[in-house]
Amino acid sequence: MNAERSAVAGVNPTLILVLCLLLGGFAGFLVGQGGPIASSVAVQTGTDPTLLTALDEYIIAGFRCPSAACPQCELRNCECAESQGIRERVKQELAQGKDGTVIRQELMAQYGAQLQPGRN
Question: Mean pLDDT per segment of 10 residues, for the chain of length 120 residues?
Answer: 54 76 72 49 53 87 89 86 92 92 93 74
What are the beta bridge partners of residue 74? 64
Residues 6 or more apart whose CB falls under 8 angstroms from that of 65 comprise 71, 73, 74, 75, 78, 80, 82, 83
- Which of 38, 52, 63 is CA-nearest to residue 87? 52
pTM for this predicted structure: 0.57
Q: What is the CA radius of gyration of the chain?
A: 23
Q: What integer pLDDT is reported at residue 88 of this predicted model?
A: 93
Residues 6+ apart with CB under 8 A from 2: none
Q: What is the pLDDT of residue 27?
A: 67
Report yes or no: 76 and 51 within 8 Å, Cβ to Cβ. yes
Of 87, 108, 90, the closest CA to residue 99 belongs to 90
Under 8 Å between Cβ of 73 and 83: yes
Q: What is the pLDDT of residue 90?
A: 94
pLDDT at residue 39, rounded to an integer: 41
Res 92: pLDDT: 93
